[in-house]
Amino acid sequence: MQKTVEQFVLEGPQWDLSGEYPSPESAEIEADLAEVESLLERIEILNPQLESILSTVETLPAEGATALLDDAREINGLLEKAQVLLHDPEVFASCLLSVDSQNAPAQTLEGRLQQYAKRFAAACEPLSQFLDLASGSLVTAYLDHPTTRHAEFSVRRSRERRHEVLSLAEENMVSALSQDGIHAWGRMYGQLSGTLQCEVLLGNECQTMGIAEAAGLLQRPDDQTRKSAWSAINSAWEVHEESCASALNAIAGWRLEMCRKRSASQEVTFLDAPIHMNRMSSETLERLLSIAEEARPLAQRAAKLQARAYGKEALGPWDMRAPAPDLNKSAKPSTGIAFEEALELIADAYGEVNPEMGQFVRMVRDKGWIEGSVGDYKRPGAFCTGFLKSRSPRVYMTYTGGTSDVITLAHELGHAFHSWVMRDLPLTQKSYGMSLAETASTFGETVVRDALIARARTPAEKFDIAWEDILALPAFVLNIPARFEFEKNFYEARAKRPLQTTEIKQLMSSAWKNWYGDSISEADPLFWASKLHFYISGVSFYNFPYLFGYLFSMGLYAQQEKMGADFFPNYKLLLRDTGRMTAEDLAAKHLQVRLQDADFWRVTLSDLERRVDSFEELTNTLF
Ligand SMILES: [Zn+2]
Instruction: Tell me the DSSP string of 479-516.
Output: IHHHHHHHHHHHHHHHTTSPPPHHHHHHHHHHHHHHHH
> Could you tell me what percent of the chain has a pLDDT over 70?
98
Distance CA 289, CA 484 (A): 9
Of 538, 529, 415, 551, nearest to 480 (Cα)? Answer: 551
> What are the backbone dihedrals phi and psi of residue 368, each rounded to the nearest 5 degrees, phi first?
75, 40
- Distance from Cα 127 to the centre of ligand 1, integer Å: 32
- The pLDDT value recorded for residue 329 is 54
Q: Could you tell me if 29 and 21 are in contact, meaning their C-beta atoms sit under 8 angstroms apart?
A: yes
DSSP H helical ranges for 134-222: 136-143, 152-159, 168-180, 182-195, 211-216
Cα(442) to centroid(ligand 1), Å:
7
H or E stretch covering 116: helix 104-133
Instruction: State how far the Cα of 25 lies from the Cα of 108, in Å rounded to an integer.
Output: 9
Residue 618 C-alpha to ligand 1 middle, in angstroms? Answer: 28
> How far, in whole angstroms, is CA 595 from its chain's centroid?
21
Q: Are 75 and 43 in contact (CB under 8 A)?
A: yes
Distance from the alpha carbon of residue 136 to the mean position of ligand 1, in angstroms: 38
Burial 321-331 (b: 16+ CB within 10 A, else e): ebbbbebeeee
Centre of ligand 1 from the C-alpha of residue 415, in Å:
7
Distance 412 CA to ligand 1 centre (A): 6
- Cα of 382 vs centre of ligand 1, distance in Å, is 8
Q: How far does residue 405's CA lie from ligand 1's centre (Å)?
A: 14
Q: Ligand 1: distance of its center to the CA of 58 in Å?
A: 40
Q: How far is the CA of 553 from the centre of ligand 1 (A)?
A: 12
Distance 411 CA to ligand 1 centre (A): 6
Q: Distance, CA 474 to ligand 1 centroid (Å)?
A: 18
Do 543 and 483 contact (CB within 8 A), yes or no? yes
Q: Which residues of the chain have pLDDT under 70?
A: 1-8, 328-334
CA 118 / ligand 1 centre spacing (Å) = 27
Q: How far is 584 from 281, CA to CA, in rounded Å?
A: 8
Residue 21 CA to ligand 1 centre (angstroms): 26
Residue count (the chain): 623
pLDDT of residue 64: 87
Cα gap 330→307, rounded to integer Å? 23
What is d(CA 95, CA 323) in angstroms, rounded to the nearest whole number?
30
State the distance from the centre of ligand 1 to the C-alpha of 437, rounded, in angstroms.
Answer: 7
Q: What residues have CB less than 8 Å from 504, skipping those under 6 apart? A: 245, 248, 490, 528
Give the per-residue pLDDT at 7: 64
CA distance 600 to 608: 13
Q: Measured in angstroms, how far is the CA atom of residue 447 from the centroid of ligand 1?
A: 15
Ligand 1 center–CA 116 separation, angstroms:
28
* Pairwise CA distance, residues 20 & 387, whole Å: 8
Distance in Å, CA 131 to ligand 1 centroid: 32
Which DSSP symbol is given to 540?
A: S
Q: How far is the CA of 14 from the centre of ligand 1 (A)?
A: 21
What is the spatial distance between Cα 469 and Cα 460, in angstroms, rounded to a whole number? Answer: 15
- 3-class SS at 182? helix
Query: Could you tell me the distance, in angstroms and rounded to a whole number, from the CA of residue 214 to the centre of ligand 1?
Result: 24
Ligand 1 centroid from CA 383, angstroms: 7
> Which pLDDT does position 328 carry in this prediction?
64
Cα 384 to averaged position of ligand 1 atoms, centre (Å): 8
Greatest Cα pair distance, the chain, in angstroms, is 82
What is the model's pTM? 0.90
CA–centroid distance, residue 381 to ligand 1 (Å): 11
pLDDT, residue 433, reads: 87
CA gap 392, 367 in Å, rounded: 10
Q: How many angstroms is it from 278 CA to the middle of ligand 1?
A: 16
Residue 246 Cα, ligand 1 centroid: separation in angstroms?
Answer: 32
Predicted local distance difference test score (pLDDT) of residue 2? 56
Residue 312: the pLDDT is 94
Q: How far is the CA of 448 from the centre of ligand 1 (A)?
A: 15
Question: Residue 395 is inside which H or E element, if any?
Answer: strand 392-396
Q: Under the phi-then-psi rule, with left for phi > 0, alpha for psi from -120 to 50, and beta for the rest, what region is 451? A: alpha
